[in-house]
Amino acid sequence: MTRQDAAETHRAIILVVERDPHVRALETFFLNEAGFGVEFASDGQVALAMAREMQPDIIITEVLVPKLDGLALCRAVRKEPELKNTVVLIFSILAAQSRAREAGADAFLMKPLAEQRLVTTVRELLARRASAVAAASHP
């Protein structure tokens, strides 16, 4: 799903970077239920390539993913001008809140998956991003 596709359906695109099949399946289900479009990558390098192409609204990434870990992915995204409006949410089994902040993540959530917490956080991040984008376009 591209940003254009999503815009036509008014759905935000979420790129989930996760290799645990159960987390992935449940995350898809609950995010879809909440009205979001979801795409997957199972390693950080693929995720970065997909992000450049898709320009997702949010990247939700586990820290522990192969090739390029979630924190390195976050730092790489922050260096891409094309992805300046993409929100990064670190969602991990590791208690890496401060490292996530240092890497430039917008938010951190600890696993396990609690759908209400996840969906609420995603909505808040999207609302915050929309305000920031609006403020930037009408200075």
Residue ranges in contact with another protein by CB under 8 A: 20-23, 25-26, 29-30, 111-117
- Both tokens of residue 54? 């898709």
Closest to another protein by CB, 19 or 78 = 19
- The least distance separating another protein from the CB of residue 131, rounded to whole angstroms, comes to 29
> Is the CB of residue 30 less than 8 Å from the CB of residue 113?
yes
- The least distance separating another protein from the CB of residue 89, rounded to whole angstroms, comes to 16
- Look at the alpha carbons of 82, 4, 59, 138 in this order and tell me if their dihedral is positive or negative: positive
**Angle CA 79–111–54, to nearest 5:** 35
Closest to another protein by CB, 27 or 106 = 27
- The least distance separating another protein from the CB of residue 113, rounded to whole angstroms, comes to 5
Closest to another protein by CB, 6 or 96 = 96
Side chain identity at 99, as an amino acid letter?
R
